[in-house]
Amino acid sequence: MSMIAAFYGGKSILITGATGFLGKVLMEKLFRTSPDLKVIYILVRPKAGQTLQQRVFQILNSKLFEKVKEVCPNVHEKIRAIYADLSQNDFAISKEDMQELLSCTNIIFHCAATVRFDDTLRHAVQLNVTATRQLLLMASQMPKLEAFIHISTAYSNCNLKHIDEVIYPCPVEPKKIIDSLEWLDDAIIEEIAPKLIRDWPNIYTYTKALGEMVVQQESRNLNIAIIRPSIVGATWQEPFPGWVDNINGPNGLIIAAGKGFLRALKAAPKAVADLIPVDTVVNLMLAVGWYTAVHRPKSTLVYHSTSGNLNPCNWHKMGVQVLATFEKIPLERAFRRPYANFTSNNFTSQYWNAVSHQAPAIIYDCYLRLTGRKPRMTKVMNQILRTASMLEYFLNRSWEWSTYNTEMLMSELSPEDQRVFNFDVRQLNWLEYIENYVLGVKKYLLKEDMAGIPEAKQHLKRLRNIHYLFNTALFLIVWRLLIARSQMARNVWFFIVSFCYKFLSYFRASSTLKV
C-alpha cells in the first residue's frame, strides 16, 4: 500500500492555480491515487465568459480526467470551487468560504502565479509576491494545516550559475517593494523595474525570487516546503504520455517549428535543455507534501525538480528528435518544411532571421496581396520572433542545480511509493519522451486528427518541390543579372560551360571506347 496515497485519504486540500497546467495534473493524480480524499478546494476566478462551475465542468470532462472518473466516480462532489481573485485583497473570497477554508484545510499547494515574462511589475508582484504573503497569513490561521507547499521555479535564481536548494536573499526586501507599489504610479513603476530586477532576465523570475523570500520571512511556525521545477513539459507517463494543454515554454516553439514558421533559433546547441515532465513534478509535490507533514523538517526545505544534473539532454539533441518526429508525424498545413538551425552567434542568427523568417513571410504576404487576400504572415512571424527572443536567455545558458533534498526524499520513500510517485528523472528516455511530447502537441493542443497524416506528408512534399523550384529560379535570375552586368561573371560562366562541355565529351569518348 502506498503511504503517500494513504496520507491524502480523508484530507481537505487547498490548491491555488488548479486551472493551470500544473494544477490540473496535480488534481488528476490526487483523485486517481487517493480517491478517498475528503475535498479539494480550488481558488478560481471566472474567465473567458465562463462561470466557476463551467470551468470545473470543462476540466473534469477533459481527456486528462478520463481515468479519474473510473476510480473516483463522484469526483464532482469532491471538488469545491471557491470564487477568488488572487490579485485582490483577501483574494475577494466571501466570509463563509474563508471560514470554511480556515477551519478545514489540511494541506496547501500554492501553484497560482503569473508566468508571463513581460507582465507589469505591479501585477507580477501582486500575484507572485503579495498573494503568497496573503496565503501564508491565511495558512497561519488554519488550525488543521499540516503542510504548505509553495511552487517556485528553478530559474528564480537564474542570475547565479550554480544553484543550491537554499533560499537566496534578494537585494531589495519584498516588503519594501510591496509598500512602494502602493503609492507609486504605473509609469514610474515601469521606469524603475529594470533597475530593480538588475541581473534577472525578466519580471517573472525576479518576482518568483521575491516570492521565495516572502515564504522564508513569513513562515512563522508553519510546515513549509518550496519546489523549484525547471521547464515543465508534457506528461511522461501519467495519466498517459504527451499530455499538454498550453503554448507556454517549449510548446509554442514546437508548434512554430512543426508548422515551418520557425526554422532557426538563437540557442547554444550544447546548452542543457532542462525540461522536466509535468507528472514528475506532480509526483515530487505529493511526496513533499507527505514528507513535510509527517516528518516536519525543522527548516523550510527547497526541492529542485530538474533533469540537467541527473539525466542531461541538450538543445541540439532535442531539436534533432523533434524534427525526426515531424518526419514521421507532420503537423497539418505547414507553411514551410520543418528545419532546425541552432546558432549562438549574433550575426548568423540575424542572417537566418532575415533569410529564413522575414523574407519568406514578406514574399507570402505579397502573394496574398496579389491574390486579393489580407496579408498576415509578417505579423505572425514577428510575434513568433518576439517570443523566441524572450526565451533566448534560457536557450543560451546552462545552470547546475543541486538535488540533494530531492534525492534524499527519493531514498525515504518505500519501493511502492517510489513506483506510484516516481520522480526519478534518471529513468527518463529522452528520445521516447520527445516523440510522445510532439505527438501530444499535435493531438491534445492542436487537436489534429491522426487520419490527416498522409495528406500532411503530401503537403510537405509539395512544399519541398516549391522550395527547389523557387531556389532554382532565384539562382537563374541572379546569375542572369550578374552575367549581364559583370565581365568577370561572364568569364566564370564561359569557363564553367566549356569545362562541362569538355568533361561530357571526354566521358562520352571514354564510354564509346569501352564498348
Ligand X SMILES: CCCCCCCCCCCCCCCCCCCCCCCC(=O)SCCNC(=O)CCNC(=O)[C@H](O)C(C)(C)COP(=O)(O)OP(=O)(O)OC[C@H]1O[C@@H](n2cnc3c(N)ncnc32)[C@H](O)[C@@H]1OP(=O)(O)O
Ligand Y SMILES: NC(=O)C1=CN([C@@H]2O[C@H](COP(=O)(O)OP(=O)(O)OC[C@H]3O[C@@H](n4cnc5c(N)ncnc54)[C@H](OP(=O)(O)O)[C@@H]3O)[C@@H](O)[C@H]2O)C=CC1
Please identify, among the stretches 29-37, 111-119, 312-320, 449-457, the one whose residues bind ligand Y according to the rule CB under 6 A: 111-119
Select the binding partner of residue 124 from ligand Y, ligand X, none (C-beta < 5 to 8 A, by kind). none
Cβ atoms < 10 Å from Cβ of 515: 4
C-beta atoms surrounding 316 within 10 Å: 16
Which region among 14-22, 58-66, 97-105, 391-399 touches ligand Y (by CB under 6 A)? 14-22
Residue closer to ligand Y, measured from CB, 253 or 377:
253
Give all strands (DSSP E) within 123-236, no chain letters. 147-151, 162-163, 224-229, 231-233
From ligand Y, ligand X, none, interface partner of 222 (C-beta below 5 to 8 A by class):
none
Q: Which one of 105-113, 436-444, 461-469, 480-488 is the stretch in contact with ligand Y (CB under 6 A)?
A: 105-113
Which residue in this structure is represented by grid cell 487517493?
34
Q: Of all helices (H) and strands (E), which one includes residue 114?
A: none
Contact status, residue 52 vs residue 81, Cβ threshold 8 Å: yes
Residue 207: CB atoms within 10 A of its CB come to 29
15-54: which residues touch ligand Y (CB under 6 A)? 17-23, 43, 45, 47
Number of residues that bind ligand Y (CB under 6 A): 29
DSSP secondary structure letter of residue 161? S
By the rule CB under 6 A, 38 interacts with ligand X: no
- Residue 151 sits in the site that holds ligand Y (CB under 6 A): yes
| Site string (437-476) toward ligand X, x via CB under 6 A | ----------------------------------------
Closest distance to ligand Y from the beta carbon of 238 (Å) = 16
Under the criterion CB under 6 A, does residue 383 sit at the interface with ligand X?
yes
Position 250 contacts ligand Y (CB under 6 A):
no
Residue 467 interacting partner from ligand Y, ligand X, none (CB closer than 5 to 8 Å by kind): none
Residue in 272, 287, 391, 456 binding ligand X, rule: CB under 6 A = 391
Contacts of 224 (CB under 8 A, 6+ apart): 147, 148, 149, 150, 215, 292, 300
Pick from 269, 228, 276: nearest CA to 249: 276
Antiparallel, parallel or unpaired: β 231-233 and 79-83: unpaired
Q: How many residues bind ligand X (CB under 6 A)?
A: 33
**Which of the choices ligand X, ligand Y, none does residue 203 contact, using the CB cut-off of 5 to 8 A by kind?**
none
Q: Is 118 in the site for ligand X (CB under 6 A)?
A: yes
45 touches, from ligand X, ligand Y, none (C-beta below 5 to 8 Å by class): ligand Y
Choice from 111, 214, 215, 226 touching ligand Y (CB under 6 A): 111
153 binds ligand X (CB under 6 A): yes
Angstrom distance (rounded) from CA 133 to CA 91: 12
Q: Is 355 helix (H, G, I), strand (E, B) or coil?
A: helix
Least separation in angstroms between CB 296 and ligand X: 28
**Residue 341 contacts ligand X per CB under 6 A:** yes
Least distance (Å) between residue 53 CB and ligand X: 26
Three-state DSSP at 460 gives: helix
Is residue 276 close enough to count as binding ligand X by CB under 6 A? no
Distance CA 78, CA 71 (A): 13
The residue whose Cβ lies closest to ligand Y is 20
Q: Please report how many Cα atoms fall inside a 13 Å half-sphere around the Cα of residue 206, on the Cβ side.
A: 26
Helices (H) and strands (E) in the chain, counts: 21, 13
Note whether 340 binds ligand X by CB under 6 A.
yes
Q: 88: which 3 cell numbers?
A: 485582490
Instruction: Give the three cell numbers for residue 206.
Output: 525576479
**Nearest one of 33, 71, 37 to 420, comparing CA atoms:** 33
Q: Which of 211, 289, 319, 330 binds ligand X (CB under 6 A)?
A: 319
Report the residue number, 112 or 142, with the smaller CB distance to ligand Y: 112
> Which residue, among 491, 475, 478, 400, has the nearest Cα to 161 in the 3D structure?
400
232: Cβ contacts below 8 Å, ≥ 6 apart: 21, 22, 249, 275, 276, 277, 278, 281
Bond before 239 cis per omega within 30 degrees: yes
Looking at 17, 23, 211, 250, which residue binds ligand X (CB under 6 A)?
Answer: 250
**Whole-angstrom distance, CA of residue 54 vs CA of residue 22:** 19
From the list ligand X, ligand Y, none, partner contacted by residue 242 (C-beta under 5 to 8 A by kind):
none
Q: Site map for ligand Y, 325-354, x if CB under 6 A?
A: ------------------------------
Q: Helix 131-140 to helix 95-104 angle, to the nearest 10 degrees?
A: 60
Q: Which one-letter amino acid corresponds to residue 437?
A: Y
| Residues near ligand Y, by CB under 6 A | 17-23, 43, 45, 47, 84-87, 111-115, 127, 151, 153, 208, 229, 231-232, 246, 248-249
| Residues near ligand X, by CB under 6 A | 115-118, 153, 155, 231, 247-250, 252-254, 256-257, 262-265, 318-319, 322, 340-341, 383-384, 386-387, 390-391, 394-395
